[in-house]
């Protein structure tokens, strides 16, 4: 089995926005004094950073005959052939080609993705869409699990 693990993280610009949110909260509290200004700066920045981290960070792994994407664990036996998507195809599959029943680990700041049909007849999910920086490596890892 070819191991695969990836952590998607928020881009640097999102962290800058977190600092700017903290500054805005601090300035909003400026009329109440210096201490509320500092509390707003620290608290606003911390809250924005926690939100950025919680949304922006997701793990994608191939572990023990399963694709683990975020909180989902999908057996490779229930998946079809993986299809690596370049930037244009990934954009199409997350916009006008998207099926609302699909399972998507979608991060718009990651330009490429992997799409895999769900072959389990009991599952109404048509496909799995996973944003990834290395769609070819993830596809190869899934294929190596399938053939093992």
Spatial CA neighbour of 17 closest among 43, 38, 44, 37: 44
Q: Which residue has the higher pLDDT, 102 or 108?
A: 102
Q: Give the model confidence (pLDDT) of 35-84 as tens digits.
A: 999 999 999 999 999 999 988 789 999 988 899 998 899 999 999 999 99
Residue 139: which H helix or E strand, with range?
A: helix 135-147
Of the chain, the end-to-end C-alpha distance in Å amounts to 7
Q: So what's the pLDDT on residue 52?
A: 92
Structure tokens, 77? 């036996």
Q: What is the residue-averaged pLDDT of the chain?
A: 92
Q: So what's the pLDDT on residue 2?
A: 57
Q: Give the model confidence (pLDDT) of 12-32 as tens digits.
A: 999 999 999 999 999 999 999
Q: So what's the pLDDT on residue 148?
A: 72
Query: Rounded to two decimals, what is the model's pTM?
Result: 0.82
Evaluate if residue 1 carries a pLDDT over 80. Answer: no
């Amino acid at each position: 089995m070819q191991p695969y693990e990836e952590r998607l993280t928020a881009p640097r610009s999102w962290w800058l926005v977190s600092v700017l949110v903290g500054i805005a909260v601090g300035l909003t509290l400026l009329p109440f004094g210096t201490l509320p200004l500092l509390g707003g700066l620290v608290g606003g920045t911390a809250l924005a950073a926690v939100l950025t981290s919680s949304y922006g960070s997701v793990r994608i792994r191939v572990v023990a005959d399963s694709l683990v994407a975020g909180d989902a664990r999908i057996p490779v036996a229930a998946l079809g052939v993986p299809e690596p998507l370049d930037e244009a195809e990934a954009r199409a599959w997350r916009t006008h080609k998207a099926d609302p029943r699909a399972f998507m680990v979608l991060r718009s700041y990651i330009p490429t993705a992997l799409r895999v049909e769900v072959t389990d007849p009991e599952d109404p999910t048509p496909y799995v869409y996973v944003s990834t920086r290395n769609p070819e490596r993830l596809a190869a890892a899934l294929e190596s699990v399938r053939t093992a």
